[in-house]
Amino acid sequence: MSKKILVVDDEPKIVEIVKAYLEKDGFKVATAYDGRAALDAFSHESPDLVILDLMLPEVSGWDVCRRICQESGTPVIMLTARDEITDKVVGLELGADDYVTKPFEPKELVSRVKAVLRRAQGHQVSPAILRTAGLEIDTGKRRVSRNQQAIELTPLEFDLLRVLAEQPGRVFSRMQLLDKVQGEAYEGYDRTIDSHIKNLRKKIEPDPNHPRHILTVYGVGYKLEGE
């Protein structure tokens, strides 16, 4: 079954270009041109992924991103004309999975869509239950719980946790983590891992400001320690 992508941008020309490239690759495409219409389309269309411009009328892209990430595990790729790293980090902290800065190559955007969907689908060769740091991680069903209480993670957060949990104690560099969760590492994107790790700590650490499980190894990267 073809995956459905919701494309949201207030520039009709950009929407039409992205729509054409996605449909050429076999995707179904829904569109919206402002934040309010985006939320309505998300509710009615149930897309598998959202491409979201941050500068939107009616309801801001930031608020749309926050709503989507709070209410579902649907992946979000941000589109932004801003090239400030702080804007990108804020978007990632809201729960977005990736970002693309305008102007962009439509073919690259389609490649990013495919990479994010691969992560979300979570094709594991050997589904298993991982237990570490007081967590139960079902790699087949892509569920995480503690004391039978579900913990909602974005697709990228789940994949980061899975990679770390499969080899507890091993130190991974940012680029190694990015390569494992995206399939290919994009130069200059390794620091975005920090934002996702920060979000992950908020959800699984008793005290995110003093993490006990996902530890920073300064100058190298991150590792996961059990109880």
The CATH number for 152's domain is 1.10.10.10
Regarding beta strands 221-224 and 214-217, do their DSSP bridges make them parallel or antiparallel, or are they unpaired?
antiparallel
Indicate whether 117 and 187 sit together in one domain.
Answer: no
Co-location of 116 and 139 in the same domain: no
What is the extent of the structural domain holding 47?
4-121
- 15 and 64: one domain? yes
Residue 216, classed as helix, strand or coil, is: strand
On the question of pLDDT at 17 being above 50, the answer is yes
**Are 176 and 158 part of one and the same domain?**
yes
What does the pLDDT look like over 102-128, one tens digit per residue? 888 999 899 989 988 887 765 444 457
Tokens of 71: 């209410």
Rounded Cα gap, residues 55 and 10, in angstroms: 8
Comparing C-alpha atoms, which of 182, 187, 15, 195 is closest to residue 114? Answer: 182
Q: Are residues 143 and 193 in the same domain?
A: yes
12 and 115 together in one domain: yes
133 and 217 part of one domain: yes
The residue among 51, 86, 121 that closes a domain is 121
- Residue found under tokens 């689908």: 121
**CA nearest 162: which of 195, 186, 140, 190?**
140
Of 75 and 187, the one with more pLDDT? 75
Do 105 and 29 share a structural domain? yes
**Are 116 and 10 part of one and the same domain?**
yes
CATH number, position 79: 3.40.50.2300
Pairing of strands 135-138, 143-146: antiparallel
Which has the closest alpha carbon to 5: 48, 37, 38, 60?
48
Mean residue pLDDT across the chain: 84
Residue 138: beta bridge partners?
129, 143
Does 45 have pLDDT greater than 60?
yes
Whole-model pTM: value is: 0.59
- Tell me, yes or no, whether 66 and 156 share the same domain: no
* Residue whose token pair is 């009615």: 44
Give the amino acid at 84: E
Count of domains observed in the chain: 2
Q: What is the pLDDT of residues 151-193, one digit of tens each?
A: 999 888 898 999 899 888 888 888 888 877 765 444 445 567 8
Q: Which domain-ending residue is among 73, 92, 121?
A: 121
Which tokens sit at 206? 């008793």
C-alpha distance from residue 30 to each of 70, 92, 113 (Å): 21, 23, 15
Sequence-distant (≥ 6) Cβ neighbours of residue 13 within 8 angstroms: none
**pLDDT (tens digit, 9 = 90+) per residue, 49-73?**
999 998 899 999 889 988 888 777 7
Instruction: Note whether 117 and 133 are same-domain residues.
Output: no
Long-range contacts of 83-88 (CB under 8 A, 24+ apart): 85/191, 87/54, 88/192
Domain termination residue (choose one: 121, 153, 184):
121
Q: Please indicate, yes or no, whether residues 95 and 139 belong to a single structural domain of this protein.
A: no
Half-sphere exposure for 217 (CA within 13 Å, toward CB): 12
